[in-house]
């Protein structure tokens, strides 16, 4: 639903908002922030500032007053989209009409002086695998003749991830320690991952949930979507290869997931909905519970995605992040609505604040790959950085940043803010101690064998 909040002519009296890369007045994402060291509260990003919504809740729809006083967005997410839309309309008016400047100005905080938090209490996190080019590229490395497994075009494939280790942009990722096995050996080695990778993804926030035993019909799925963030699904490929059969990823994924702290609402994204790419000739037609004509007509997102990387050497030389990849959310083989319909078809209940990852969104071209695993062909063909350094996988001190920009003709583009994190060294003291205590005769755990 396009309304006056999307009007490209609309301007804010917050000067930095006009032409802002991510947060012009047409965006108004929701998040949880702390000004200086004060307690967390709900805010919206506007230009270089954050507006404290708790402090101005008396100016906002009265029905939302309690939800707006929360320390997480869960209660607000639970409301029907119409309620969030009225909040958006009100905020858009307050931030564009100069008559409200005097009353709002005291509640605007410079974003650089604020800390941002995971925006919701995430009860459950599920990661899908709807990036078909990623699934094909990874499949080719394992099975050159039949890269996609027979279920791929019938089922939006996913696995249950870990909510407790989801962190916002800026929090360091500690290199995980665990088991890996070299191809020619029977025994696994133990130690820090030597094949640490990232995955370029979008995160879909669940709004109102569904009751246990009551599936969400695909036509109703949009009512359950609250918004999107950027997501980096850090992955230890060496652990993954050893552990994933028969039940799927476990410790290779659950040590850390980075998200951008702002929820860009579905209402803000309305102008950027676009038709789902047609399935290639010969692909099966999905089962009826996964098909909705309206979803096919505008269930995709016109969002450009990019990945940047910076090594410690690049940082020392003052170099900007090097673009590794330019991809697009239109590469999703299954839509967000199809993900929700499938997740709940067996009666599984989703709750407000749950997070669904899309899976790695690689483009079809080699310049748009969403993981190092694909770029380096499982480590065999290292990439080269502007400093001449090479990488097969991430080293300590490397920084990965994901960016996203929604664009459509006739509308002001909107962004997501940063989704960035630096890799820090494994806690070696800890893993050495674990290794010694558990396996006194096993040299596999010593640093020299890495
Ligand atoms: Mn993933």
Q: How confident is the model at residue 119 (pLDDT cuts 50, 70, 90)?
A: very high
Report helix, strand or coil for 348.
coil
Domain closes at, from 80, 97, 117: 117
- What is the predicted pLDDT for the residue at 37? 83
pTM for this entry: 0.95
Cis preceding-peptide flag for 198 (omega within 30 of 0): no
Q: Are residues 155 and 59 in the same domain?
A: no
Q: pLDDT at residue 127 above 80?
A: yes
**CATH number of residue 103's parent domain:** 2.30.30.230
Element housing 67 (H / E): helix 65-68
Q: Are residues 90 and 200 in the same domain?
A: no
* Ligand 1 centroid distance, CA of 127 (Å): 6
- The span from the first CA to the last CA of the chain, in angstroms, equals 55
* Ligand 1 centroid distance, CA of 234 (Å): 8
* Ligand 1 centroid distance, CA of 371 (Å): 10
Q: Note the pLDDT tens digit of each residue in 358-386.
A: 999 999 999 999 999 999 999 999 999 99
Strands 177-180 and 273-274, sheet pairing: unpaired
Average pLDDT over residues 270-293: 97
Q: pLDDT at residue 450 above 70?
A: no
Q: How confident is the model at residue 209 (pLDDT cuts 50, 70, 90)?
A: very high
* Ligand 1 centroid distance, CA of 159 (Å): 9
Q: pLDDT at residue 434 above 90?
A: no
What is the distance between the alpha carbons of residues 383 and 34, in angstroms, rounded to a whole number?
A: 39
Q: Within a domain: residue 6? A: no
* Ligand 1 centroid distance, CA of 88 (Å): 31
* Ligand 1 centroid distance, CA of 198 (Å): 9
Q: Are residues 415 and 351 in the same domain?
A: yes
Q: Within a domain: residue 4? A: no
Ion ligand 1 nearby residues (CB, 5 A): 127, 199, 233
Q: Are residues 56 and 156 in the same domain?
A: no
Q: How confident is the model at residue 431 (pLDDT cuts 50, 70, 90)?
A: low
Q: Around Cβ 272, how many Cβ atoms within 10 Å?
A: 22
Q: Within a domain: residue 352? A: yes
User: What integer best gives the mean pLDDT of the chain?
Assistant: 95
Q: Are residues 112 and 204 in the same domain?
A: no
Q: Are residues 394 and 325 in the same domain?
A: yes
Q: Are residues 140 and 278 in the same domain?
A: yes
Domain closes at, from 94, 117, 140: 117
Domain count, the chain: 2
| Percentage above 70 pLDDT, the chain | 96
**CATH number of residue 436's parent domain:** 3.90.850.10
Q: pLDDT at residue 313 above 50?
A: yes
Average pLDDT over residues 397-413: 98
Domain closes at, from 87, 117, 147: 117
Q: pLDDT at residue 445 above 50?
A: no
* Ligand 1 centroid distance, CA of 134 (Å): 10
Q: Note the pLDDT tens digit of each residue in 24-47.
A: 999 999 999 999 889 999 999 999
Q: Within a domain: residue 315? A: yes
Bridge partners (DSSP) of residue 304 are: 328, 405
| Percentage above 90 pLDDT, the chain | 93
- What is the predicted pLDDT for the residue at 102? 98
- Domain extent, residue 38, equals 15-117
Q: How confident is the model at residue 446 (pLDDT cuts 50, 70, 90)?
A: very low
Q: Within a domain: residue 129? A: yes
* Ligand 1 centroid distance, CA of 158 (Å): 9
Q: Are residues 36 and 163 in the same domain?
A: no
* Ligand 1 centroid distance, CA of 374 (Å): 13
Q: How confident is the model at residue 428 (pLDDT cuts 50, 70, 90)?
A: confident
Q: pLDDT at residue 447 above 50?
A: no
Bridge partners (DSSP) of residue 401 are: 308, 420
Q: How confident is the model at residue 444 (pLDDT cuts 50, 70, 90)?
A: very low
The burial class, CB within 10 Å (0-12 / 13-18 / 19+), for 12 is buried
Q: Are residues 299 and 409 in the same domain?
A: yes
Average pLDDT over residues 182-205: 96
* Residues involved in catalysis: 134
Q: How confident is the model at residue 53 (pLDDT cuts 50, 70, 90)?
A: very high
Residue with tokens 């065999």: 380
What is the distance between the alpha carbons of residues 356 and 205, in angstroms, rounded to a whole number?
A: 7
Q: Are residues 100 and 159 in the same domain?
A: no
Q: pLDDT at residue 277 above 90?
A: yes
Q: Are residues 163 and 212 in the same domain?
A: yes
- What is the predicted pLDDT for the residue at 449? 38
Q: pLDDT at residue 265 above 80?
A: yes
Q: Are residues 399 and 436 in the same domain?
A: yes
* Ligand 1 centroid distance, CA of 188 (Å): 24
Q: How confident is the model at residue 430 (pLDDT cuts 50, 70, 90)?
A: low
Tokens of 54: 């708790």
């Amino acid at each position: 639903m396009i309304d006056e909040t999307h009007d490209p002519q609309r301007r804010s009296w917050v000067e930095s908002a006009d032409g802002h890369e991510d947060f012009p007045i047409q965006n108004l994402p929701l998040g949880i922030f702390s000004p200086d060291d004060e307690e967390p509260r709900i805010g919206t990003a506007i230009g270089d500032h954050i507006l404290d919504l708790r402090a101005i809740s008396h100016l906002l729809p009265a029905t939302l007053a309690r939800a707006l006083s929360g320390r997480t967005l869960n209660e607000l997410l639970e409301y029907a989209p119409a309620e969030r839309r009225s909040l958006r309309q009100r905020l858009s008016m307050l931030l564009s009409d100069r008559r409200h400047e005097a009353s709002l100005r005291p509640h605007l905080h410079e974003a650089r002086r604020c800390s941002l938090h995971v925006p919701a209490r995430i009860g459950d996190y599920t990661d899908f695998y709807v990036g078909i080019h990623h699934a094909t590229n990874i499949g080719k490395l394992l099975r050159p003749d039949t890269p996609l497994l027979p279920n791929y075009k019938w089922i939006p494939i996913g696995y249950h991830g870990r909510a407790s280790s989801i962190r916002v942009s800026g929090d360091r990722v500690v290199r995980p320690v665990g088991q890996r096995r070299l191809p020619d050996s029977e025994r696994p080695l133990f130690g820090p991952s030597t094949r640490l990778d990232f995955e370029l993804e979008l995160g879909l926030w669940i709004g109102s949930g569904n009751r246990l035993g009551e599936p969400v019909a695909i036509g109703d799925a949009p009512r359950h979507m609250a918004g999107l963030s950027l997501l980096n699904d850090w992955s230890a490929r060496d652990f993954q290869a050893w552990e994933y059969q028969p039940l799927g990823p476990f410790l290779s994924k659950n040590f850390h997931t980075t998200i951008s702290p702002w929820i860009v609402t579905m209402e803000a994204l309305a102008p950027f909905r676009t038709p789902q790419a047609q399935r290639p000739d010969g692909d099966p037609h999905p089962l009826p519970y996964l098909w909705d004509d309206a979803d096919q007509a505008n269930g995709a997102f016109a969002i450009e995605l990019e990945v940047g990387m910076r090594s410690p050497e690049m940082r020392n030389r003052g170099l900007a992040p090097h673009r590794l990849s330019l991809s697009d959310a239109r590469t999703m083989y299954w839509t967000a609505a199809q993900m929700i319909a499938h997740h709940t078809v067996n009666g599984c209940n989703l709750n407000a604040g749950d997070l669904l990852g899309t899976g790695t969104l690689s483009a079809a071209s080699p310049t748009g790959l969403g993981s190092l695993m694909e770029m380096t062909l499982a480590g065999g063909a290292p990439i080269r950085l502007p400093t001449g350094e090479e990488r097969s996988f991430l080293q300590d001190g490397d920084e990965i940043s994901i960016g996203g920009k929604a664009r459509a003709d006739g509308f002001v583009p909107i962004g997501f803010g940063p989704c960035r994190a630096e890799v820090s060294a494994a806690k070696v003291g800890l893993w050495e101690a674990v290794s010694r205590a558990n396996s006194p005769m096993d040299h596999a755990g010593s640093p020299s064998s890495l």
